[in-house]
Structure 1
Amino acid sequence: MIVFVLRHADRSSEDDALSAVGTKRARMLAHMLAESGVSKAFCSDAQRTHQTLAPLKQALGDRISVTEFSTAGQAGPDGHVEAVVAAIKALPPGTIAVAVSHSNTVGSIVEGLGGGRIDAIGDTEFDRLLVLFIPPNGRETLLQLHY
């Protein structure tokens, strides 16, 4: 299994939406992942995570399904992390997935999937792309990129 894990693209300072730079970054992400074989996507209930995935969903149509797990409610961000990790772990071997989350949850998702700890994501850092390789039997490998 291969899982791309990232923070949503650049956010507007005025609301929950992506900025113009964030919209451009979301299109770049779609360009990068459109031919990767990704078929499952996970995000939070925040508008900016959906907007980060929107160009990829537009490019792939029915070849990708998007599942939302809320960061609100009683379980909060921890519940979101647990739900994303459980959903990814339930996927069949060989699946390629993407999880778009937040600066305070991306590291916990990676760690929950066996990728180890990562450095904290800064408030203005939107370009980290973590690629986790999860073999059926063996040790996970984490590749840290910028896009």
Structure 2
Amino acid sequence: MNAVDIDIRKILKLLPHRYPFLMVDRVLELEPQKRIKTLKNVTMNEPYFQGHFPGHPVMPGVMILEALAQSAGLLTFGADMERKENSLYYFVGIDGARFKQVVTPGDQLHMTVSVERYIRGIWKFKAFATVDDKVACEAELMCTVKQAD
């Protein structure tokens, strides 16, 4: 896998997500349409920590899965890392999601996603989120890219 440094400005050009729902801060490594490693800095400023849980903030599992899905979305771009106008990335399925440790403010969430296959417009990925080299979440994700109206 090639070390790269795709920063937030480029990510904003590729993904349609915006605050408070953008879950990828940086791309660290990339082998286009094969494998990607991304980073999410988890801070106390995340709006979900107000209610999940007061006095004991824990990143919701669905937000970790969303970070993995956004990382997978970045992986669907070709080597040119350019987004086709009006294309949107849709999450269409998830299998085998497992949560193995909590993620809290101050953690760096590293996402590693690899392409398992691409058939008839559906991408299937194997995805892991780690904190300090310990698996926090793993799942198989399925996604598609469609043209928006």
Q: Which has the higher contact order (CA 8 A, sep 6+)?
A: 1
Q: Normalization by structure 2: what TM-score? A: 0.32
Rg (Cα) greater in structure: 2
Structure number with the higher strand fraction is 2
